[in-house]
Structure 1
């Protein structure tokens, strides 16, 4: 993202998304060589985050804060950013046809920055093909699961491993990868990784065990070059004593369909959890506190769901009054309306489905009676308040829902860094 110290540890981020995994490695002291991401909005988010780190390094963050406050345009912001910074964000779909050009860009960065070797490759192919929802989508698109092209994206990952031979790699994905195609997908992945010279270990990890206030189970594959003494770190569970409300309560009340335009918050009012994890700092500008325009019927339902949660109960769809029901199917997705568990020490998994509707992520405050805002979703995922997401509201929700929580990523990165130093 900026001129690198060639004695520092570095990484390449594949299928980078909005950069949650990358953010953890940056916070742990790694330097990025490149990010590869096919989605345009997510790539722009990565570019903007690159600008943040560059301006932070040269102590010129006031330009970034002006952009967040909408005082200057994105074009004006990037007049202060060298082309070498944005060059490291490669907006391209990975395929056998595009890889040569992607390799050329990365090779030029390595040459220009005099990088001796790649220390770590991180990332994970889009997980939709391995998730239950993704499998359903394949059937709806009349694509047999075995023929879904997303199944083959892991081969792109191994092509990078083969070319750059990093000391270690981190591969994140949904648990469904282990059982997709009756286990064939994972078997093929292991064979490919072994073929390009890596030993691996795979474990299911839950974000809540890394200090995140969210139940989020994913598989984390960690690999190391054969013949080295590296290994899968032993992550000791480190659950927080905070509650989900500690992520939300200092943010201003926002009505449905509105955006809070108070860019500054009273730092003294934020929780210890936010401070300790550097999600909020005194200088941060609050952005993306945008609520979708929930209709009157949904607001009535939301109120019922919030009240039920306060009583320690849940309301399934079939128990709603008939006049509030709009779906004939009352047996599937019975918990389609769900509150974010503010009084608990972890909420349910934040999903990219937030881009479509917020019924599964209702704010726990009865006074607000709406689905969560983009910024609230980002906080549940432990993105810092100074993380700016590009794109439409839906695109921002999708980027956040697909991300690895940065706090979790930082713990993984720190453990790997200890092995490599």
Structure 2
């Protein structure tokens, strides 16, 4: 039986009022941006990282009556209850203020890479189980009880399907079943939805049971071919779907005749040619994240690039910002010689060749292992073990979507080396934003590393837009049916 609170929200939506969203762990606002573009109203958000919270406030105006200082305030969802948030934002109460509850819960404890890092730091094989972030989904369920949303959406990494042998989405769905929701989850790859990036994520959607709809997911808008590594990771994740009685929804398949995935070249070619990092490093050091540069006038502007320039509310006509890159002079020559698609083992061989060339130019060749030999080698050859870091470096393939962007870009962007060898560099902050489908007018607070981290942590806005549009169609169709039936019952009575 739907509560009076949820029923009032459904009636509100039936009057074509905008669905009001509260997003937890909002980050800089990737999911919020997509939902906003799909016609949702952003009413509240919770994000503990101060820089990401500032970015959110830079790009989304507070609702009427909400103070700017409260809107940009960082908050921890563990310490901040739904009721406290409502008070801070000047809302009457938590249960009546929000129709949609969304969350991109932290994935470090669920992701396999994050688990191994936690093990190494803590020296404990079960460190990932004990990480407080692994229990945030239970805190999220407390918010569900307090907020009583009629729509729920959660995003996370596919590895959440196997948290030490436990399928967390199934637990969430079973709990939501008991709270009066119909639920589904699946895996979506952003490349199938017009994002120039192979990014596999789990999405869980729940609707109030009164709607009588089991959630489904948007059909792909683009055709893409997943590399073997992504196919393998997907197959492993799907092994943990229960054989019967699961809430898993089959992964939507691309129909015949769809356009191909958006390529890196289509996504980035109109952005500025960057060479200051090797021509004039001082200029790059002085450049700020917010400094604007003009688009390349000679480049063809793809449909995707045009969309990033013209996203409503975030338009950029002649210039855009974010053109910062890492200053790593030892590696510029390696980047220049790497072919597209090359990884770290190949880069190391190239570095060894460059080192041999440098040795041949020395008047007296130093003895191998000597101090002079070691110093010269260090100026040309990276120190990383190729057995431990096979994917540490990767040069983008211009005709394909990018590999997954991660928050680790904030510390090391070598996983995304620009394909244009003339520029001999890793990608810029704005290029990372383009690959994540943030529009060019979206601004990032903080410095370069913070910008990379926020982008890598975000939900791709275009994927969130596709999900938001699909949810609205399902909800609106269900509301028509529910209230039509109520009307017929009233006439019969």
Calculate the TM-score normalised by the size of structure 1.
Answer: 0.82
In structure 1, the partner of 2:203 is 220
In structure 2, the partner of 1:139 is 119
1:85 Cα deviation (Å)?
A: 4.8
Partners of 1:12 and 1:284 in 2: CA distance: 34
Change over 3 Å in CA distance of 1:211–1:367 after alignment to 2: same
In structure 2, the partner of 1:383 is 438
Alignment of 1:261-300 (within 5 A): 261-265=291-295, 270-276=301-307, 278-279=310-311, 281=315, 283=317, 285-295=319-329, 297-300=330-333
1:140 Cα deviation (Å)?
A: 2.1
In structure 2, the partner of 1:358 is 413
Partners of 2:136 and 2:459 in 1: CA distance: 18
Calculate the TM-score normalised by the size of structure 2.
Answer: 0.71
1:183 Cα deviation (Å)?
A: 1.6
Between Structure 1 and Structure 2, whose CA radius of gyration is higher? 2
Q: Is the 8 A contact 2:343 2:395 kept in 1?
A: no
In structure 1, the partner of 2:107 is 127
Partners of 1:315 and 1:148 in 2: CA distance: 31
Unaligned runs of 5+ in 2: 1-14, 223-258, 353-376, 477-493
In angstroms, what is the RMSD of aligned CA positions? 2.8
Aligned: 1:203 with 2:203 = no
The range that moved more, 132-141 or 407-416, is 132-141
Partners of 1:326 and 1:263 in 2: CA distance: 32
Q: Is the 8 A contact 1:129 1:150 kept in 2?
A: yes
Change over 3 Å in CA distance of 1:227–1:392 after alignment to 2: same
Aligned: 1:374 with 2:435 = no
In structure 1, the partner of 2:232 is none
The range that moved more, 386-395 or 177-186, is 177-186
In structure 1, the partner of 2:266 is 246
Aligned length: 381
Change over 3 Å in CA distance of 1:245–1:105 after alignment to 2: same
In structure 2, the partner of 1:154 is 137
In structure 2, the partner of 1:338 is 394
In structure 2, the partner of 1:304 is 337
In structure 2, the partner of 1:33 is 43
Change over 3 Å in CA distance of 1:326–1:274 after alignment to 2: closer
Unaligned runs of 5+ in 1: 55-80
Partners of 2:398 and 2:435 in 1: CA distance: 11
Partners of 2:351 and 2:300 in 1: CA distance: 40
Aligned: 1:93 with 2:76 = yes
1:347 Cα deviation (Å)?
A: 1.2
Partners of 2:40 and 2:388 in 1: CA distance: 44
Partners of 2:391 and 2:335 in 1: CA distance: 12
Change over 3 Å in CA distance of 1:269–1:330 after alignment to 2: closer
Partners of 2:67 and 2:318 in 1: CA distance: 26
For 1:357-391, what per-residue CA distance to the aligned partner results, in whole angstroms no more than 9, with x for missing partners? Answer: 12111111111100111001000111011100001
Change over 3 Å in CA distance of 1:98–1:9 after alignment to 2: closer
Aligned: 1:231 with 2:191 = no
